[in-house]
Chains A and B, each alone.
Chain A
């Protein structure tokens, strides 16, 4: 999966995300950090879904909603197209 982010992003161990292109910062919760790291590693949404269910012991419905919400927020923040 190619890099989908519009500019260089750095996520700290504590979930602090810095957008090098705009100078804006965001705070990600553990779910957001987990999804972000997997996107960075090049995983696709279906793969992330399975990993999220295993990691956080949540239903498929909850995991799918979390992933959709996260992608929507990335888009609203202008971090992805």
Chain B
């Protein structure tokens, strides 16, 4: 009997969610015999219509609908298709699944997530403090909790600086006028606190890591992004081999006692070659399938961890593997959309047609 996996984050448009890359990794041909169940939020989540990717699709309520509503929906899906493991792939879902983990475990659904304490340490408001604790440089940060602290923040960080929302959005500001304008824009959209951060002239590297919960780094793939969209998202990247980044990854994962996947954003200052930890994203990156291409199937590793299997650190990823993202049109009959709209679910057969 195969292991059935539920995956969220199926929308892959101009700011792609990681779910599709996770599914493609799980579909990678090395003996997978379970079902892949897509957990979508919207009928127009694009990955739903990628023929052959999913066995079943269910719509689930957004995280803001409340924990009980989501638990009930997942319990229903579990009763229909048996979900052995769920891999949530969006930042906004983490607190929800951390909270639901014991209840899901009780009905037979396993997760492998970082603790709330680890997650707090990597939030934008606390990461500077965490870096100081474990002795890793990070760009100087000022957390603005009320607008009256802005001038103090500008003075402490100095220009140019980044103005960052607590969850999303970041703007480079050369002067106070720019900074005030972006502060208001972010405040309206995401609220306070807002982060002011020193700008460092640097090269950026990103590393997809999987931690064991005891502080062991079980897998890691460092990359350089070689093409970005106008939103700053990777459109092409290449895997690299860099012992300094490996050492840094081990230290960060150990310090956090991180469990499961994350993406480290590292800066290497041009002037000094010094490395800084910029951010930790508490999930797989959208470019996760590149890791599988570089011979580290990290989604499968997370499934094994969720199932309580004994896993060993993976051999070094292959450097020089590259990806280029490619937009394409998915075509499907109206019945697929009709099923999802009216029933909230869709079931594919092996020929790709709905059942």
Q: Which residues on A are within 8 Å of B, measured CB to CB?
A: 7-8, 10, 18, 20-24
Contact = CB atoms under 8 A, between A and B. Distances in A.
A18 B242 contact: no
Contacts of A7: 241-242
A21 B320 contact: no
Contacts of B241: 7-8, 20-21
Given A18-B320, A22-B240, A23-B226, 19 more contacts: A7-B242, A8-B319, A10-B320, A20-B240, A20-B242, A20-B319, A20-B320, A21-B241, A21-B242, A22-B203, A22-B224, A22-B242, A23-B205, A23-B224, A23-B237, A23-B238, A23-B239, A23-B240, A24-B224
Interface of A is mostly: loop
Contacts of B239: 23
Interface of B: 203, 205, 223-224, 226, 237-242, 319-320
5 contacts: A8-B241, A20-B240, A21-B242, A22-B240, A23-B224
Most buried by B among A18, A21, A23: A23
B25 to A, nearest CB: 21
Nearest to B203: A22
B339 to A, nearest CB: 44
Contacts of A18: 320
A64 B74 CA distance: 72
A8 to B, nearest CB: 6
A6 to B, nearest CB: 10
A70 to B, nearest CB: 23
A19 to B, nearest CB: 8
Contacts of B319: 8, 20
A22 B224 CA distance: 7
Contacts of B237: 23
A75 B237 CA distance: 25
A70 B263 CA distance: 37
